[in-house]
A = this chain, B = another copy of it.
């Protein structure tokens, strides 16, 4: 196959999920789309400070291939494209919930330690 597969074989489920979610901005894109329901390319870009246009489309295209994201093109000028989560995307976001909470607690712990060491 040609470009970056993201098919198996996988050693375990985590493996198979990580394959789809690893990428600097993917979890943030997921979160952004889940929060707003639907976002245009430019809105996503503004919502993810620091992302480059190249990485943003690249990640969006991969997530579309992976069935996480739906891409709707409106044939207008200037062009308008809307991105939203598919059912799979939404369920992935749910599955990421506990991990997000764990990370939240870790961040709080780190902050507390940093404050204690001041």
Residue A97, interface by CB 8 Å: yes
Given contacts A8-B107, A11-B28, A28-B12, contact A102 B17 (CB under 8 A): yes
Number of copies of this chain that the complex holds: 2
Inter-subunit contact B12/A103 (CB<8 Å): yes
Inter-subunit contact A22/B20 (CB<8 Å): no
Inter-subunit contact A14/B100 (CB<8 Å): yes
Given contacts A28-B12, A103-B14, contact A7 B96 (CB under 8 A): no
Interface residues on chain A, number (Cβ under 8 Å): 37
Residues in B neighbouring A58, C-beta threshold 8 A: none
Inter-subunit contact A100/B28 (CB<8 Å): no
Inter-subunit contact B8/A110 (CB<8 Å): yes
Inter-subunit contact A18/B102 (CB<8 Å): no
